[in-house]
Structures are given as structure tokens and as C-alpha cells.
Amino acid sequence: MIKVGVVGGTGYTGVELLRLLAAHPGVALQAVTSRGEAGRHVADLFPNLRGHLDLVFTPPDASDLHACDLVFFATPNGTAMQLVPGLLAAGVKVIDLAADFRLRDPDEWEHWYGMPHACPELLAEAVYGLPEVNREAIRAARLVANPGCYPTAVQLGFLPLLEQGLVDPGNLIADTKSGVSGAGRKAAVGTLLAEASENMKAYGVAGHRHQPEIRQGLRAATRQPVELTFVPHLTPMIRGIHATLYARLTATGEDLQSLFEQRYADEPFVDVMPLGAHPETRSVRGANHCRLAVHRPRDGHTVVVLSVIDNLVKGAAGQAVQNMNLMFGLDETAGLAAAALLP
């Protein structure tokens, strides 16, 4: 059994991680930390875990994280980087679900996150945890940077086209929508029911923190400069991301449907839907799947890719468990086989 600790178990990502880990056949949860809820039973805060998890929240400095085999960080940006060096020195592997180790350039990190990086020497070592790209590196990693939700949906949609050089990397557009759980569990006026319901709005058009992460991944795929217009939107649903991706074809003779099917044929959590399909966010709710559909309207020069994920699962906690499975030599699908929730 893998002895696991979770730092920051009170947010939406944290409780989703606990839900998955509590049912995982190869995991023994040792500690769940929270400064604000220390001393409280986890199941008292999250009653869905009653009968599944019998642990009490402990402060990070009081829990014995060094006795764990792996520690997940489901914390705000800037928290993990303070504790990770000590954990790695103690031989503990780490998966960070925040953004502390996603960007390679510490100056770019500081620009987007407003603070200097506490351990820039680890940025080169951290493996970006997108299994469909970095599976073998993840297997050997001791520090994994779990991708963001928007970056997961966008990269999986664009990768087959960029890897084969079929589109212009200087003119990519990602029109994305997210449910309100992507904003986190903190109280904020913009995510109140009366504010978010029956409404949709764009945000971060001038610049969003996920944009440099997406561009970094797409540059690695094409090995050319990438120009990406990325526009996120808040939609009146709790879970889900829908990404509509546009690119300009540089070659028009390729069978795009076959290209996508072949690229993801061996990927357990990427589903390329039949020609003409329109994937729905509800089809992945609660599941660790990305569903994709590729279109070429009117046989023109523009390709449109539709990509849907659950932002809390394949976009966060589920992908983190997928990475854990790889790091410890388990079946990659362990603990992640459940079908999506309908209705």
C-alpha cells in the first residue's frame, strides 16, 4: 500500500482527491492537513466521505508527512514550493496540483504569480504531469507538476495537429468555458449563485495564468514559436470544461479523424468520438476522461477541435491519481475506472 498524505484537503480539488483516494485499492491515507480545520473529522466537513474515510484534519507542521511515500499538495499557488524541498530530501515523492512547478522559467512564474519562486533549482527537475505526453518521465519522477484544467483540455485537443505539423502554430485560438468550481471553494461575489446562475461571461482576456503553461506545452509539441489567443469564460454549471479550439491548416489532404484516433488509440482516458460528434461536459462529469471531436467545417482551411473534461477530475484530482499510479508502477487506471455521472 502506498502511504499518502494530502496537504490542503478542504477545497474542491482536495475533497475530490480524497474521494478518489479513499476508494483506491493501493492507497493508505495517512494524513490530511488543514490549518483552519485542524482537529475536525474530515467526514464532518465532507459528509460524502462518511464511512469511507476516518481521519482528522491536522496542521501541516504537526502531521507526519515525512513518513509518507507520496504527498499531494491541493493548496493555493505558492504553498507547495515552501515545503517540497524538505519532503524530497526525506525521500518523499510529491505531486503538486497547484502551479508552483508547472512553468520552467522562474521569471515567468514571478510575473504571473506575483512572488519569487522559493526553489527555482527544482523547476528543471519537475516533470509536467500530462501522461499522454510525458508518461515515461512521470514513471521515474519524484516531483510531478500536475497540469491545470484549461491546459489539459487545450493541449490534448491541439497536440495531434501540432505534432504532425498540420496547422500554423502562430495562429491558434482556444475559446474555453468552465464551471464555477474552477474558481475554488473560497467565498467570492462573482461565484455566488445569484451572480453566476443564468449568466455567462469572459474573463482574463488580457492575460490568464494558464496561458503561459499552455504555450509552454504546445511549444514542446511543435518545437516552433506558438501564438495562442486564449479566452476563458465562466458558465453557470458546477463542473466541466468545454474548449473549442481553432487552427489554420497548412495541409488539407490529411484524414484528421484517423490522425486523432491513432494518436490516442492507446490512451485509457482520451476518447476520440466519431466523425461529426459534439462532446458534452456532462459526459465526463465525475470521470477522468477527455472526450474529443475534430471537425473541418465545409472542408475548408480551418480545423475545429472540441474538447471536454471535468475540471476537478481529469483537470485536477483524477489526473493526479493517474500520475501517482504511474510513479508507483500501478495499473494507470487504478481507482479511476468509474463511469461519468448522468444525469
**Domain positions in the chain:** 2-125, 149-310
CA distance between the termini of the chain: 34
How far is Cα 127 from Cα 94, in angstroms, rounded to an integer?
A: 11
Q: Which whole-number Å values give the CA distances from 245 to 30, 140, 163, in the listed order?
A: 41, 32, 16
Residue 219: alpha-carbon gap to chain centroid: 18
The residues assigned a catalytic role are 149
Residue 340: alpha-carbon gap to chain centroid: 17
Assigned CATH for 149-310: 3.30.360.10
Residue 231 CB burial class (10 angstroms; 0-12, 13-18, ≥19)? middle
Is residue 287 within 8 Å of residue 340, measured between CB atoms?
Answer: yes
Q: Which whole-number Å values give the CA distances from 56 to 49, 91, 126, 156, 327, in the listed order?
A: 12, 25, 30, 37, 27
How far is Cα 107 from Cα 190, in angstroms, rounded to an integer?
A: 30
Residue 4: alpha-carbon gap to chain centroid: 19
pLDDT at 196: 86
Q: What topology does CATH give the domain 2-125?
A: Rossmann fold (3.40.50)
pLDDT at 194: 86
- The SS3 assignment for 81 reads helix
Beta bridge partners of 32: 6, 57
How far is Cα 147 from Cα 242, in angstroms, rounded to an integer?
A: 16
- The SS3 assignment for 228 reads strand
Could you list the mean pLDDT of each consecutive 10-residue stretch along the chain, which spans 343 residues? 94 95 96 90 94 92 84 94 95 97 95 94 97 98 97 98 96 96 82 87 92 96 94 95 97 92 98 98 97 95 97 98 98 95 90
Cis omega (within 30 of 0) for bond into 343: yes
Strands (E) in the chain, as ranges, are 2-7, 27-33, 57-58, 70-73, 93-96, 127-128, 143-145, 172-178, 201-202, 228-234, 241-248, 270-272, 290-295, 302-309
Residues 6+ apart with CB under 8 A from 119: 81, 84, 85
* DSSP, res 37: T
In this prediction the pTM is: 0.96
Q: Beta strand 93-96 with 70-73: parallel, antiparallel or unpaired? A: parallel
Is residue 125 within 8 Å of residue 143, measured between CB atoms?
Answer: yes
Residues 6+ apart with CB under 8 A from 168: 247, 248, 249, 250
pLDDT at 62: 58
As given in the structure block, the three cell numbers for residue 326 are 504511474
pLDDT at 25: 95
Residues 6+ apart with CB under 8 A from 280: 308
